[in-house]
């Protein structure tokens, strides 16, 4: 069947047309055309995403992208069998633009609409490719997913395929949000995660690692929080909040505030050193809780997805935590960020799971805080 998927949860407008077939465990996809339009140049001067501006841009972009994607795919509107659209979580004014657009197309073309949870999209993005064909592979369970983006930080357990239990989440800021806020303090535009990551990586390469501490492995290093985790003595440390709590939750707001206070008290510290210690602290929190959850739930497969999954230090630390016993899966770099390919994958799998029953298109609503 032919699927058209739409993503508008934040500041990226995405439309993809696929050919999809097969069951939940062996679904296969062929991308016929894919387009993504980023609003980053519009929002970066404001230091964040403005929902009403995002809405205006989505409304402007959606018909242009649709026409372009239809043309590139060689498809006629009448050949689309299903529309998949993100219904949450995200910015409600932005989500509504995609939903309304899907509802209008559904009416015009007489096709059903499958609402999609954006975070399930991120999780299933590990199967996707930016072009060509790909398949959904069977994963050995239990599967643990660390979903890390600008709005979310959660550990999700999947014992039964497509059923989710959130076993831990951030109690305040998302990790991507903390990266963005620290980047802003250091004078970088939105979204700042990639800038911090690049600066930290350069500083890490220049510092001399303490090989003894490096050899301890991430869980032991993280169990004794200090700058010595990474073997780089910067002469200052930032906290690793909630590292010792027995749950699998996170907190990044205190870490972000520590960086702010440090910057106010200490003028002239090299921003690269701050980026390095902040990144080490944030990733230590993610690594330690993920390692604990792997042990506790005897996890066989770890999925790490969402915008922050592009971070090189996170990727390296997750490899150490999983070792040879646990299979580790990341999306391709292009699919870590928001996109409509992941929405099509999640939409199709849910459509099959629900035996092709979809809600009435007019009943689909934007839910900003939709949970898995
Ligand atoms: O998944 P995503 O594109 O959008 C949301 O659903 O939020 O994630 C965007 C987030 C931003 O906070 C951005 O700064 C962060 O992902 N990010 C990174 C990196 N690349 C993107 N954070 C740390 N290191 C990176 N390399
Ligand atoms: Zn996202």
Residue nearest to atom 2 of ligand 1 (CA): 307
In three-state secondary structure terms, 34 is: strand
Residue 175 alpha carbon, nearest atom of ligand 1: 12
- Token reading at 22: 């097969």
Ligand 1 atom with least separation from CA of 311: 26
User: Which of 11, 91, 176 to mutate for ligand 1's pocket (most ligand atoms within 8 Å of CB)?
Assistant: 176
Give the model's pLDDT for residue 244.
Answer: 86
Distance 121 CA to ligand 2 centre (A): 8
Q: Which atom of ligand 1 is nearest to the CA of 177?
A: 12
Amino acid 227: pLDDT: 38
Looking from the CA of residue 9, the nearest atom of ligand 1 is 6
Instruction: Give the binding-site residues of ligand 1, using a 6 Å CB cut-off.
Output: 10, 149-151, 176-177, 179-180, 191-194, 197, 306-308, 310-311, 337-338
| Ligand 1 pocket mutation, candidates 7, 48, 183, 308, criterion most atoms within 8 A of CB | 308
Q: What is the pLDDT of residue 207?
A: 76
Ligand lying closest to the C-alpha of residue 313: 1
Tens digit of each residue's pLDDT (9 = 90 or more) over 243-285? 989 999 999 999 999 999 999 999 989 999 999 999 999 999 9
Ligand nearest, relative to CA of residue 191: 1
Tens digits of residue pLDDT in 147-195 = 999 999 999 999 999 999 999 999 999 999 999 999 999 999 999 999 9
Distance from the alpha carbon of residue 144 to the mean position of ligand 2, in angstroms: 18
230 and 275 Cβ atoms separated by less than 8 Å: no
C-alpha 158 to ligand 2 mean position (Å): 19
What ranges in the chain are assigned the alpha helix state H?
40-43, 51-73, 92-109, 118-124, 175-185, 193-206, 211-214, 218-223, 253-265, 271-297, 312-322, 341-353
The pLDDT, as a whole number, for residue 217 is 43
Cα–Cα distances in Å, from 352 out to 159, 213, 245, 278? 19, 49, 39, 43
pTM across the whole model: 0.94
Which residues of the chain, if any, have pLDDT below 70?
208-233
pLDDT for 224: 39
């Amino acid at each position: 069947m032919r699927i058209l998927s739409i993503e508008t949860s934040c500041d990226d407008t995405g439309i993809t047309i696929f050919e999809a077939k097969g069951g939940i465990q062996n679904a296969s996809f062929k991308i016929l055309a894919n387009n993504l339009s980023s609003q980053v140049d519009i929002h970066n001067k404001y230091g964040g995403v403005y929902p009403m501006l995002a809405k205006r841009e989505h409304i402007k972009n959606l018909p242009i992208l649709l026409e372009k994607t239809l043309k590139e795919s060689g498809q006629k509107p009448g050949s689309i069998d299903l529309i998949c659209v993100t219904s949450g979580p995200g910015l409600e004014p932005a989500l509504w633009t995609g939903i309304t657009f899907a509802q209008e197309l559904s009416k015009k073309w007489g096709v059903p609409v499958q609402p999609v949870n954006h975070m399930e999209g991120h999780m299933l993005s590990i199967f996707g490719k930016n072009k060509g064909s790909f398949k959904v592979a069977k994963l050995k369970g239990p599967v643990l997913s660390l979903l890390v983006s600008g709005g979310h930080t959660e550990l999700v357990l999947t014992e039964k395929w497509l059923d989710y239990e959130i076993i831990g989440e951030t109690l305040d800021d998302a990790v991507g949000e903390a990266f963005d806020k620290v980047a802003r303090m250091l004078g970088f535009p939105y979204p700042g995660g990639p800038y911090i990551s690049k600066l930290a990586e350069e500083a890490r390469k220049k510092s001399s690692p303490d090989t003894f501490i490096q050899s301890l492995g991430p869980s032991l290093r993280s169990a004794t929080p200090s700058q010595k985790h990474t073997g780089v003595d910067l002469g200052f440390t930032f906290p690793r909040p909630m590292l010792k709590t027995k749950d699998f939750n996170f907190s990044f707001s205190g870490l972000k505030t520590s960086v702010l206070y440090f910057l106010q008290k200490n003028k002239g510290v090299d921003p690269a050193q701050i980026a390095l210690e902040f990144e080490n602290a944030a990733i230590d929190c993610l690594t330690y809780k993920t390692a604990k959850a792997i042990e506790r739930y005897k996890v066989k497969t770890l999925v790490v997805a969402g915008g922050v999954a592009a971070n090189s230090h996170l990727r390296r630390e997750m490899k150490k935590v999983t070792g040879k016993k646990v299979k580790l899966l990341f999306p391709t770099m292009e699919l870590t960020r928001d996109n409509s390919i992941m929405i099509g994958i999640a939409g199709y799998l849910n459509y099959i799971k629900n035996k092709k029953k979809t809600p009435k298109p007019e009943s689909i609503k934007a839910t900003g805080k939709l949970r898995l």
